[in-house]
Every structure is written in C-alpha cells, then in structure tokens.
Amino acid sequence: MDVGADAYEQQYQQRVLKNLQHRAKPLGFEVVPYQELPQVS
C-alpha cells in the first residue's frame, strides 16, 4: 500500500466508526474500544 491508500483506509475506518456510533446511540448502545480480557486458567 502506498501512503495515499493508508491515509484513505484510516479515514474510511474513522467514518465507519462515527456512523456506527451515530446509529447505536438512539438504540441505547454505546460503542467502546475493545479490551482483551485476561485469560482464566
């Protein structure tokens, strides 16, 4: 990928995230960053 493609991909992901947050809010949901949970052994 060239720099232009990387920048486009980053902007695309930001647009998708913003749209998802906008769609989730009226439904009573909140989009939060994913966190790995510790493994239980």
Who has greater pLDDT, 33 or 29? 29
Split at pLDDT 50, 70, 90, the class of 16 is very high
| CA gap 4, 12 in Å, rounded | 12
Instruction: Write down the pLDDT at residue 33.
Output: 86
What's the confidence (pLDDT) of residue 23?
97
In this prediction, residue 18 carries a pLDDT of 96
In the predicted structure, residue 39 carries a pLDDT above the cut 60: yes
Give the pLDDT mean for 22-41: 90
pLDDT, residue 17, reads 95
